[in-house]
């Protein structure tokens, strides 16, 4: 540690050196500032004779810290020593975890048409007419003021972060949330926020953070949308290659719903949030100057070689189509293998299900070879507005039709997940308070409507219904009775439905023999089980439990040895390469993982 403590309450300081090749950029800065806010003392960062408030994301970014830059962290006031120690630990962890996004190596090429060199964002090949990005803004009357729009935008980003927290890109939403909170300080109107965004964006020009300007525009557009600004965008009905200066990170989701074949941007970088999301979406893309390419011109986008081919010859088109067909064949071969069963070398057949968060992820799971849904997180329906019975029934039914084997978890909010339309009193320890199955006591009307919708959507299908956060036998039997009473009230037959529990509260480990008499199945939620076993909040910025701890595997072994009803595992551990052999050796036979992890998990199982 480089900590120097003074007995006379003078400022304490510690030098920190940026070791990440990416520099100290928006995502780690947001986590750093978020932790700094938890301390009441004054904390500043000094670099090149400039001192800024570390609790402000925007201020920290203004230092433009790159690899090998050393800045001084200074704290003064109550618990200044604790603040410096905590921030130093976090900084070191952020530097270690910040993987460099490396340039993709280009393949050789030989084209007869005019070639424009570019930098690869996401590999692939596309042949299609170009389309220039167009959008128009339409202002509608708004019933909320600027302050409320700001609050709703920040809360929306917070919800997105927690909804996607198991996604590797979830930190983008946390970063934007902290950036918006920082930028909006002292802004009383939209005009003031626009001026601040413009001013701060200009400061990034020419720096390594230049590509982060799109995040500034993204959060500004989010606030405008809450103030009644509708962004109208049109796209062709046929495949197209999108040309543009840049895209906002939030626009990638919309783009995925179109016939986009590829994207070429002029003003971004391979480590921008836009580029990260394009890669994640699997959209073939380059960074290149497209000013000489006409609208509607058919081009070849070769994101293997990192080039655009204008006016391609017949020979160029033939070669590109052959390459495209080769890519499709390889993808099809992989897709075919994904549908093959996962059988160990000893001949054990293992089920690989998917964790789904909405209809899109359930459809992706189907395409990726999932045998069913081991965990349907129903929270996707319960966002800004409370869903109606009809909306819930329709959404569940669409997902239930995709698979024969589906486990749906009842609403699991509380802890780190909040809903704007239900009142949960502020709690000092929300992870130990009203969440999961406890909503049946605090908000019975909400839970009754959800169960009613699930029953209606299930019809004659043998859906499994899982209660989260069960901590006792009585809690399960009371909740199941609640469900049976709902069915009786609406004269619905649910005799074909099964009821089980998520094993995530440690008390259940000692009640399994009694629970065997009443539950139909178990699912081990290792994320929360680990949190409660080690008393470390899973969203904590500093403390991390060992995901491969012998204690956790001992708990799982106890469950498998004692349970007389089917057991599956649906936490992150289920897709962990190092954990899979251990779980199989303990006797685990059903895994539920993220859709994108299905193929990998099956391959790992086949190698055991």
Active site residues: 273, 570
Query: Tokens in use for 274?
Result: 């836009």
Please give the DSSP secondary-structure letter assigned to residue 211.
G
CA distances from 238 to 235, 259, 296, 410, 415 (A): 9, 6, 12, 40, 45
**According to the 3-state scheme, what is the secondary structure of 428-463?**
CCHHHCCCHHHHHHHCHHHHHHHHHHHHHHHCCCCC
Burial 272-282 (b: 16+ CB within 10 A, else e): bbbbbbbbbbe
3-state secondary structure of 311: coil
Burial 88-105 (b: 16+ CB within 10 A, else e): bebbeebbeebeebeebe
Chain centroid offset of residue 425 CA: 27
Among residues 486, 423, 418, 428, which one has the least CA distance to residue 453? 486
The residues near 389 (Cβ < 8 Å, ≥ 6 apart) are 449, 452, 453, 456
The residues near 186 (Cβ < 8 Å, ≥ 6 apart) are 192
Burial of 28 (0-12, 13-18, 19+ CB in 10 A): buried
Burial 331-359 (b: 16+ CB within 10 A, else e): eeeeeeebeeebeeeeeeebbbbbbbbbe
d(CA 194, CA 387): 34
Contact 533, 506 (CB under 8 A): yes
Strands 229-233 and 240-244: unpaired
d(CA 54, CA 65): 13
Contact 182, 56 (CB under 8 A): yes
Sequence length of the chain is 608
d(CA 397, CA 569): 24
d(CA 156, CA 172): 13
């Amino acid at each position: 540690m480089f900590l120097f403590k003074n007995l006379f309450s003078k400022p304490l300081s510690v030098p920190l050196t940026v070791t990440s090749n990416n520099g100290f950029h928006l995502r780690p800065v947001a986590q750093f500032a978020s932790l700094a806010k938890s301390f009441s003392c004054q904390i500043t960062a000094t670099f090149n004779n400039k001192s800024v408030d570390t609790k402000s994301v925007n201020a920290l970014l203004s230092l433009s810290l790159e690899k090998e830059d050393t800045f001084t962290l200074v704290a003064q006031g109550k618990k200044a020593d604790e603040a410096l120690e905590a921030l130093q630990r976090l900084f070191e962890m952020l530097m270690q975890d910040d993987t460099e996004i490396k340039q993709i190596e280009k393949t050789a090429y030989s084209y007869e048409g005019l070639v424009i060199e570019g930098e690869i964002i996401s590999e692939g090949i596309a042949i299609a007419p170009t389309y220039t990005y167009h959008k128009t803004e339409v202002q509608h009357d708004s019933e909320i003021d600027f302050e409320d729009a700001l609050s709703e935008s920040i809360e929306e980003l917070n919800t997105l972060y927690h909804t996607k927290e198991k996604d590797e890109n979830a930190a983008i939403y946390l970063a934007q949330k902290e950036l918006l909170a920082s930028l909006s300080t002292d802004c009383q109107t939209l005009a003031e926020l626009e001026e601040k965004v413009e001013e701060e964006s200009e400061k990034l020009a020419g720096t390594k953070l230049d590509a982060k300007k799109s995040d500034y525009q993204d959060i500004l557009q989010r606030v405008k949308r809450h103030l009644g600004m509708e962004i109208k965008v049109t796209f062709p009905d046929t495949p197209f290659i999108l040309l543009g200066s840049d895209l906002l990170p939030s626009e990638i989701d919309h783009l995925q719903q179109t016939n986009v074949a590829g994207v070429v941007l002029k003003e971004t970088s391979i480590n921008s949030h836009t580029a990260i999301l394009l890669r994640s979406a699997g959209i073939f893309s380059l960074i290149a100057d497209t000013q000489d390419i006409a609208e509607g011109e058919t081009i070849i986008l070769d994101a293997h070689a990192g080039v655009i081919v204008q006016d391609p010859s017949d020979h160029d088109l033939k070669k590109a189509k052959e390459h495209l067909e080769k890519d499709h064949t390889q993808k099809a071969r992989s897709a075919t293998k994904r549908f093959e069963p996962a059988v160990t070398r000893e001949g054990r057949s293992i089920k690989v299900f998917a964790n789904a968060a909405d209809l899109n992820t359930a459809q992706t799971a189907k395409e990726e070879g999932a045998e069913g849904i081991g965990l349907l997180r129903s929270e996707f329906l319960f966002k800004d507005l409370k869903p109606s019975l009809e909306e819930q029934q329709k959404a569940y039914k669409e997902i239930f039709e995709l698979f024969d084997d589906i486990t749906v978890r009842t609403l699991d909010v509380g802890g780190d997940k909040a809903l704007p339309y239900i009142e949960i009193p502020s709690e000092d320890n929300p992870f130990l308070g009203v969440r999961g199955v406890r909503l049946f006591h605090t908000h019975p009307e909400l839970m009754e409507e959800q169960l009613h919708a699930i029953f209606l959507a299930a019809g004659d299908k043998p859906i499994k219904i899982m209660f989260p956060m069960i901590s006792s036998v009585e809690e399960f039997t009371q909740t199941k009775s609640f469900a049976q009473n709902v069915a009786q009230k609406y004269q619905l037959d649910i005799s074909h439905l099964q009821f089980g529990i998520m094993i995530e509260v440690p008390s259940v480990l000692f009640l399994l023999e009694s629970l065997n008499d009443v539950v139909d199945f178990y699912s081990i939620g290792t994320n929360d089980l680990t949190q409660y076993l080690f008393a470390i909040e899973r969203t904590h910025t500093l403390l991390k439990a060992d995901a491969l701890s012998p204690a956790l595997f001992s708990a799982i072994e106890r469950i498998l040895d004692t349970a007389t009803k089917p057991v599956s595992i649906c936490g992150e551990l289920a897709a962990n390469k190092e954990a899979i052999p251990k779980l199989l050796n303990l006797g685990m036979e059903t895994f539920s993982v993220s859709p994108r992890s299905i193929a990998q998990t099956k391959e790992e199982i086949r190698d055991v």
